[in-house]
Amino acid sequence: MRRYLFSGCLLFCCLAMALTVMAPSAASADSGKFSRTVTAVDPVTLQGQGLTITLWGVKPVMSPAIELKALDLMDNLIDGSPVTCQAVGGTSTNVVARCNSARGDDLGLSLLNHGFVVVDRRQNVGAVPSYLEAQQAARHNAAGIWKQVVKSDGMSQGTRMFLGILPVAAVLLMMFVVLFRLRSLETQQKEEFEQTRSKETQLLAREKHVLASTLEGELAGNKNRIEAFLTIYRDMLANLKSTTETPKYKEAGDIVQKHPALSKAVFEASVSKLSLLDMKLAARLSKLYAALPMEQEYINIEPGVPLESAVALVEKVIRDAEIFVQPLTDAIAALEGVMKGSTTPPVAEKD
């Protein structure tokens, strides 16, 4: 009996490993390259399908305005298409990599060219001269954050010469600027208020996108686990119903797992953010997660159990797992709709 118990467990593990190998991995064993559909969550971080990718060789700057511009640039470069990355470090779920868009744009290099990030000197960026050259070019052109740096470096040589030759004209010009600024202060304050409100709206929209992306990744993983579980027990049912083979449990008994092992960790960590989603979608996701089984339960089938009882038990296990396939499919489609900015597809209600 122990030999068959071990064989059943080994079969389950092999199938789980096979599904893991078939899924997109963080990096292939031979080249470290991989492709993923991702979303930019900050200027140097991508996230999608349960994987976090930190762009190699660059680091963000402390400027909310530059951050928003960097995120807009990343969205335009990615444009909803998978990115291709070369892993250089990190872990299986948090990878450090150089990534290219579907059009072949190096994301880190593009950000440097626009002055939206700076070179991370803690990494060996000397091995990639184009990164240092891109930063130098952005600084020379006063692009992005470098515009502020160039301003802080002081006045240009031409301005110094002008002030040296015509100090009175410079003073008059400064007075004119001050008067102009005073007159336009009220208008400027209104514009800044509108810009701040617009930025807050954009940040909320991006947070909503990230929430939908992480939940979609967890639900997709649960759906894969259920499909693997169904494959195993449909094979077991076929063996029980076979007229040419003696059921395996008749020889030494068998063990039946009542339901697949599913994950709720992402949802439980995101409950406080569900208000970002449509109210109906949030309620249906809560209902779906509440229905998902968590604790593992097993049933022993002794050799003396009648064949009809064993068949009925396995059929019930299959039915209980199948009822989650369509709700998971609908929820995944709804979250993908949120990520694309389209109307959220309705999630079918299940009792």
Answer whether residue 15 shows pLDDT above 70: no
* Mean pLDDT to the nearest integer, 322-326: 93
pLDDT category at 123 given cuts 50, 70, 90 is: confident
- Judge whether residue 221 has pLDDT over 50: yes
Q: Which tokens belong to 214?
A: 């992480």
212 and 273 assigned to the same domain: yes
pLDDT tens-place string over residues 228-244: 999 998 988 888 888 78
More confident residue, 149 or 270: 270
Note whether 209 and 321 are same-domain residues.
yes
Same-domain pairing of 138 and 211: no
pLDDT (mean) for 268-283:
90
Element (H, E) at 54: strand 51-55
Q: What are phi and psi of 117, to 5 degrees?
A: -140, 175
Residue 5, both tokens = 């118990």
In the DSSP assignment, the letter for residue 29 is T
Whether 174 is covered by a domain: the verdict is: no
Cβ atoms of 238 and 191 closer than 8 Å? no
Distances (CA, A) of 69 to 125, 210, 218, 238, 265: 24, 18, 30, 58, 32
**Structure confidence at residue 227 (pLDDT):** 93
State how far the Cα of 136 lies from the Cα of 194, in Å rounded to an integer.
Answer: 34
pTM attached to this predicted model: 0.43
In-domain check, residue 65:
yes
Looking at per-residue confidence, does 27 or 78 come out higher? 78
pLDDT number for residue 66: 92
User: What was the pLDDT predicted at 243?
Assistant: 74
Residue whose tokens read 């990355």: 85
Location of structure tokens 């208008």: 187
Residue 150: pLDDT band (50, 70, 90) is: low
Is the pLDDT assigned to residue 1 strictly greater than 90?
no
For residue 47, the model assigns a pLDDT of 94
Domain containing residue 67: CATH number: 2.40.50.90
**Which residue among 88, 122, 153 closes a domain?**
153
For the chain, how many structural domains are there in total? 2
More confident residue, 284 or 175: 284
Shared domain check, 147 and 222: no
β-pair type (45-48, 39-42): antiparallel
Q: Are 213 and 339 in contact (CB under 8 A)?
A: yes
* Spatial distance between the Cα atoms of 219 and 212, rounded to a whole number of angstroms: 10
The proportion of the chain whose per-residue pLDDT surpasses 90, expressed as a percent, equals 47
Q: Is residue 348 included in any domain, yes or no?
A: no
Region 81-94: what's the mean pLDDT? 92
pLDDT per residue as tens digits for the range 167-185: 766 777 877 778 788 888 8
What pLDDT is recorded for position 156? Answer: 52
In 57-194 the beta strands, taken as DSSP E runs, fall at 58-60, 83-90, 94-100, 117-119
User: pLDDT value at position 18?
Assistant: 38
Q: Which residues sit opposite 204 in a β-bridge?
A: none
Q: Identify the pLDDT of residue 205.
A: 86
Helices within 23-100 (DSSP H only): 64-78
| Interval 195-204: pLDDT, tens | 888 888 888 8
Q: Which residues pair with 54 in a beta bridge?
A: 45, 96
Residues 235 and 330 in one domain: yes
Whether residues 147 and 266 share a domain: the answer is no
The predicted pLDDT at position 169 comes to: 65
What is the percentage of the chain residues whose pLDDT exceeds 70? 83
Average confidence (pLDDT) over 50-69 = 92
Instruction: Give the whole-angstrom CA distance, residue 57 versus residue 125.
Output: 6
Q: Which domain holds residue 54?
A: 38-153
Q: Which of 133, 153, 173 is the last residue of a domain?
A: 153
